[in-house]
Amino acid sequence: MIVGILAAVLGLIGACGVIFGPVAIGLAIPGRRQVAASQGTQKGAGMGTAGLVLGIVGTALSVLWIILFATGVLDLPQV
C-alpha cells in the first residue's frame, strides 16, 4: 500500500508514478491472492485492494502527464 500511495502522489506531480505504479500493482496482486488462499488466517485484503487501486491511479495519472507534455498541451515554465 505504501508504494501505491507513492505512485498516486508522484503521479499527481509528474511522471514518477510510472515507476512506482506498476510496482504497487505487482505487489498488490500476489498479496491479495495470498490473503485469499490463507482461508482467513491472514488479513489485509483491503490493504491489498487499496495498493492496487492507488497503483492504477498513479500509473494513469503519470501516463496522462506524459501525454500532455508530449503533445505540447503542458509546457515547462521558462526560467
pTM of the model: 0.81
Closest CA to 50 of 27, 16, 76, 77: 27
pLDDT of residue 15: 65
Amino acid at 50: A
6-63 pLDDT per residue, tens:
788 877 777 677 888 899 999 999 999 999 999 889 999 999 999 999 989 888 988 8
Side chain identity at residue 36, one-letter code: A
Question: How far does CA 36 lie from the centroid of its chain?
Answer: 22
Q: 58-77 pLDDT, tens per residue? A: 889 888 888 888 898 877 77
In this prediction, residue 12 carries a pLDDT of 75
